[in-house]
């Protein structure tokens, strides 16, 4: 069996930055175990698989270790590959996922994704969270991720987490954020529980970051940068129960898997 495979850098207009994701179009679903093996072999933070149906697409995402419910950068990479490499002409793409229906459409030189907002309540975190990060904060929020708010971009940039300790935190991942020096807010995302110590750019985290910063800064359109080593830029719009996340992508690789 031969399968097409693409790789794109998401949330960037420049190759070798942003967040790389693999995209694998399928005629029909293959087994979960085979998709997990392919994702592990790709060894990227996410591999996206999609199947075309009559008026929509089914989309799933796998890290090297597990399937996830939502992934922004791999959705952006998938839409980019479909528009730029596979010749899809629709104005908007509709994806059915484990997080419901996700829409992606062109807006100028960017792709706009429409996701459900995740408004996180304040919580008392486990001590191991602070031990793993090496910093403390009075502003901690949680749903399936923890979000820790620090005072400055510098404090976020200087973090040197203990990933063994962070892997003990019962969450998908840990978002750390602060006001940005040149953008509205910055962030980093750590997910050793999912086999990713630090994710370069995490679209899904911005469904949690956007409502917090929209309310704190009293604005509905925000500029954001994830300040990982590779780095990535996002434009976020708070729409109440929906969050729009916009970004660019570039194709890095086109190939074929022989199984």
Query: Does residue 137 share a domain with residue 184?
Result: yes
Q: 33 lies in a domain?
A: yes
Round to whole Å and give the CA distance between 237 and 219: 9
Write out pLDDT tens, residues 190-234: 999 888 899 999 999 999 999 999 999 999 999 999 999 999 999
- The mean per-residue pLDDT over the stretch 13-42 comes to 97
Task: Say what the pTM is.
Answer: 0.89
Percentage of residues in the chain having pLDDT higher than 90: 94
Mean pLDDT computed over every residue of the chain? 96
CATH of the domain at 170: 3.10.310.10
pLDDT value of residue 14: 94
Query: Does residue 229 share a domain with residue 168?
Result: yes
- Number of folded domains in the chain? 2
The residue range of the domain holding 186 is: 127-240
Write out pLDDT tens, residues 72-88: 999 999 999 999 999 99
Q: 219 lies in a domain?
A: yes
Write out pLDDT tens, residues 49-74: 999 998 899 999 999 989 999 899 99
Residues 6+ apart with CB under 8 A from 158: none
Whether 67 sits among the annotated catalytic residues: the reply is no
Q: 106 lies in a domain?
A: yes
**In this structure, are strands 249-258 and 242-247 parallel, antiparallel, or unpaired?**
unpaired
Query: Does residue 220 share a domain with residue 153?
Result: yes
Alpha helices (H) along the chain: 32-42, 72-84, 127-133, 153-157, 163-166, 206-217
**Cβ atoms of residues 215 and 83 within 8 Å:** no
Query: Does residue 192 share a domain with residue 135?
Result: yes
Band of the pLDDT at 189, cuts 50, 70, 90? Answer: very high
68, 69, 90: which is closest to 79 by C-alpha?
90
Does residue 18 come out as left (phi exceeding 0), alpha (psi in the -120 to 50 range) or beta? left
Sign of CA dihedral 73, 246, 233, 167: negative
- The mean per-residue pLDDT over the stretch 122-145 comes to 97
Query: Does residue 112 share a domain with residue 11?
Result: yes
Which residue among the candidates 41, 46, 151, 198 is catalytic per the annotation? 46
Write out pLDDT tens, residues 37-48: 999 999 998 999
Round to whole Å and give the CA distance between 144 and 123: 12
């Amino acid at each position: 069996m031969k399968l097409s495979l693409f790789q794109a850098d998401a949330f960037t207009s420049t190759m070798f930055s942003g967040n790389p994701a693999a995209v694998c179009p399928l005629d029909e679903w293959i087994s979960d175990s085979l998709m997990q093996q392919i994702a592990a072999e790709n060894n990227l933070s996410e591999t996206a698989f999609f199947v075309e149906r009559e008026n929509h697409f089914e989309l799933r995402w796998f890290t090297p270790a597990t399937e996830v419910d939502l992934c922004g950068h791999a959705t952006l990479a998938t839409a980019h590959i479909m528009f730029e490499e596979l010749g899809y002409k629709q104005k908007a793409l509709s994806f059915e996922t484990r997080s419901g229906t996700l829409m992606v459409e062109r807006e100028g030189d960017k792709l706009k994704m429409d996701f459900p907002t995740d408004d996180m309540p304040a919580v008392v975190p486990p001590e191991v969270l602070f031990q793993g990060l090496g910093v403390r904060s009075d502003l901690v929020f949680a749903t399936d991720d923890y979000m820790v708010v620090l005072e400055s971009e510098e404090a976020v940039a200087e973090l040197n987490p203990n990933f063994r300790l962070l892997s003990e935190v019962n969450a998908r991942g840990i978002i750390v954020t602060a006001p940005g020096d040149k953008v509205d807010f910055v962030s980093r995302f750590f997910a050793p529980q999912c086999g990713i110590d630090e994710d370069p750019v995490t679209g899904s985290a911005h469904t949690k970051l956007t409502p917090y910063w929209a309310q704190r800064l009293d604005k509905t359109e925000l500029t954001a940068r994830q300040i990982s080593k590779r780095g990535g830029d996002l434009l976020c719009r708070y729409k109440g129960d929906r969050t729009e996340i916009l970004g660019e992508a570039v194709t890095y690789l086109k190939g074929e898997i022989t199984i």
